[in-house]
Amino acid sequence: MTESRTWARNLAYAAHEVRHPQTLAELSDVVRTAPRVRALGTRHSFNDVADTTGTHVVLDRLDDGRAPVEVDRAAMTASVAAGLRYGEVSLALHAEGVALGAMASLPHISVAGAVATATHGSGDAEANLAAAVAGLEIMTDDGEHRLLGRDHPDLPGAVVSLGALGVVTRVLLDVVPTYAVRQNVYLGLGWDTLAASFDAVTASATSVSLFTRWGDGGVDQVWQKQAVGRSDAPAPEEYLGARAAVSAMHPLPGVDAAACTAQLGVPGPWNERLPHFRLDHTPSNGEELQSEFLLPRRHAVAAIEAMRGLAPVIRPLLQVTEIRTVAADRLWMSTANADAAGADGVVGFHFTWNPAQAEVEAVLPRIERALAPFDARPHWGKVFTEDVRDVVGRYPRFGDFRALAERYDPAGRFRGGYVEAMLG
């Protein structure tokens, strides 16, 4: 028995072995012969969405005979080894003069894992990371290596797949010309001001994050990440009554900002500004839990009021909440799917908790009930307690996704953990 745990060490996986295949032939052999198999990325999930009672395969050593990152400048795409971390991919892309439109707050997460769970960054016009996928290479239950190109009818259901279709080995991403970003932080944005100007606040930069501990003073920090070419005007010393930070800030009060990407309006490459944290700084392990709920942005102000009403039960367990927006997409199981959320996209409420699993799980039902009238859906890889039937019922294409999973994996060998509960 080989024990493997989540990044936060809050869950021990049930897999009886972990394999690191080095070639496609080795991977094919594992996939064909293991009774149960699931791909495992950087383990930055806080639940059992990636779990299996069989074999975990980790692609950190896989060599398919190609360069880990291959850029096609004519097509403006990049073919990326699925096991790479986004930070590593971004360095290679920037060196080639191309970029991604969005990055998550942590650059340490794997490409395939982030895509499969609809992980996202922030920005009114920026869709989640999975929306940049133009194709997948995937090994299915028969050990065959399949290509799903941009026009393949299964691609919209296969991108955010939670690993239910097979082991993704390579991802084709749309890219754009490289660009610079500057980052400014403002302190103390009042609740009334935010309620009156929510759309203006989230549109004030390419990417905007609002950090709060739900105190009466309002939003503690407003992080604005602005693509330099879109606006070269200097950042004001005050924004809607919030004052500009005069030193670098960490989202958590009182924590050293050394791990954070450069602020104070200093322009830099997109990949060194869009994430909140630097690639060369290893995130802490075991010091937090995370939950996130995403809902149609038309409900943003009402949902904020609902969360403010729960502040007395949230604050004792909370490190910080981040509020951010994500553009809509057409991916079946994406939390920003336009059929479910609307064309305006979603607003996300991301809770970073103290590492107290039982206490957090006791509070979550109150949050879930408060957000239920707004059609909130949990992030697939975070801690939540809602019944699986209620969750999948908020996805209009879930029936199509179930049929797709049964077609790709008729024996259910790629199921496990939460995916087993969804499809079982």
pLDDT value at position 231?
54
Counting DSSP H helices and E strands in the chain, the numbers are 12, 20
Q: Are residues 150 and 72 in contact, defined by beta-carbon separation less than 8 angstroms?
A: no
Q: Which CATH architecture has domain 181-274+285-386?
A: 2-Layer Sandwich (3.30)
pLDDT value at position 230?
57
Question: Which of 90, 95, 301, 302 minimizes the C-alpha distance to 198?
Answer: 301
Q: Are residues 209 and 120 in contact, defined by beta-carbon separation less than 8 angstroms?
A: no
pLDDT value at position 281?
87
pLDDT value at position 235?
78
Tell me the two tokens of residue 123: 């920005």
Tell me the two tokens of residue 356: 């107290």
- Cα–Cα distance measured from residue 233 to residue 17, given in angstroms and rounded to the nearest whole number: 55
In whole angstroms, how large is the CA radius of gyration of the chain?
21
pLDDT value at position 1?
47
Antiparallel, parallel or unpaired: β 176-177 and 98-99: antiparallel
pLDDT one-digit tens code per residue, 315-359: 999 999 999 999 999 999 999 999 999 999 999 999 999 999 999
Query: Is domain 69-178 classified as CATH 3.30.465.10?
Result: yes
Tell me the two tokens of residue 133: 């996928």
- Cα–Cα distance measured from residue 239 to residue 219, given in angstroms and rounded to the nearest whole number: 12
- Structural domain boundaries in the chain: 69-178, 181-274+285-386
Q: Which residues in the chain come in under a pLDDT of 70?
A: 1-3, 230-233, 284-286
Question: Which of 122, 147, 345 minimizes the C-alpha distance to 224?
Answer: 122
pLDDT one-digit tens code per residue, 60-70: 999 999 999 99
3-state helix, strand, coil in the chain (%, to 5): 30, 25, 45
pLDDT value at position 64?
96
- Cα–Cα distance measured from residue 297 to residue 299, given in angstroms and rounded to the nearest whole number: 5
